[in-house]
Amino acid sequence: MAGHFDLIDLQLIVHIGDQLSLTRAAEKTHLSLPAASTRVKNLEEYFGTQLLYRTSQGVTLTPSGEALTRHARTVMRQVEQLRGDMQEFARGVKGHVRVLANTTAMTEFMPAVLGRFLAAHPDVNVELRERLSYLIMRAVAEGAADVGIVAGCTADPNLEFIPYRRDRLVLVAARSHALAKESAVAFADTLDNDYVGLSEWSAIHPFLVQAAAALGRTFKFRVEVGNFEAVCRMIETGVGIGVIPESVAVRFARVLDIAIVPLTDAWALRALQICVRSRDALPAFAKELVNMLVDDVPEAERERPHEPEVPAV
């Protein structure tokens, strides 16, 4: 039995999965065909299972070969990330914080804090990405992110939650729209209308689609745009209506002819929380970022009543 395997073996398996040809995979791994064949045989001996089906037309992966390929891809991605991180250290970068946030935090609350944090820490990089809240929690729990900002999620014994901010989703319509005259409206009663919304890359897009699906309804996007300002400007022209964070709606209602209508749905009211695996175990610079986020919260929002634990973005 072969005693070990290395990164070249894993890269070879990845190339075999991509090329379905041992010859081409060997070339891409810079190995001779006999050397590549020997490495595959050693892997099969090591794991005690056949990895490839060999035919005159080439090779295909067995179920165990497919499983090994999935793991190999994960390892090679991590190696690439390690190489990139080491290059940053070589350039003088001493820290890297991975932050995942929902749509509201990304657009409304994070920019100002990150600007101050990065100015104070020129030797730290921040990777900020937008995700749905349940995916953020999973990533933080699995170590794929250091800090998450989520809304309306249930407790998780593997995570520590820090109260952050509160916000609500509201309906926005042109002032001439029939719904603009309502004092409040249920989401279900808006779904016969065309919607203006953010593109699929945003966390709020799939959330609204899911909320409509839960009602057995179809969510009709007439236009999808890249940011909340574009959403509000399209709504002002009468193209459709939209659901956006209240903090965003209030800001644009000062300069655009749009109306804000509260939603009666429980999920519209959201308590945002910062989640980490352990606040005490964070690197000093990541802990300082969390502290800056908490300190940025207005005093009026620091004490808030219990809000329902509902899926949110």
153-165 confidence digits (pLDDT tens): 667 888 999 999 8
Q: What is the predicted pLDDT for the residue at 217?
A: 93
Q: What confidence score (pLDDT) does residue 88 get? A: 61
- pTM greater than 0.95 (yes/no): no
Residue 202 to residue 98: CA distance in whole angstroms: 18
Take residue 291 and report the two structure tokens written for it.
């502290």
CA distance linking residue 154 with residue 219, whole number of Å: 26
* Residue segments in the chain with a per-residue pLDDT below the cut of 50: 1, 303, 305-313
Which pLDDT score, from 0 to 100, does residue 124 have? Answer: 87
Q: Give just the sign of the alpha carbon dihedral 185, 190, 196, 200.
A: positive
Q: Do the beta carbons of residue 250 and residue 289 sit within 8 Å?
A: no
Number of other CB atoms surrounding residue 126 within 10 Å: 19
- Residue 48, CA distances (Å) to 38, 45, 68 in order: 15, 5, 12
Length of the chain: 313
Q: Which residues pair with 29 in a beta bridge?
A: none
Look up residue 86 and give its amino acid.
M
Note the pLDDT tens digit of each residue in 253-290.
Answer: 999 999 999 999 999 988 889 999 999 888 888 899 99
The torsion defined by the Cα of 117, 119, 124 and 126, in degrees rounded to 10, comes to 60
Residue 41: per-residue pLDDT: 94
pLDDT at position 91, please?
65
Instruction: State both tokens at 242.
Output: 């939209």
Determine contact, residues 140/147, Cβ cutoff 8 Å: yes
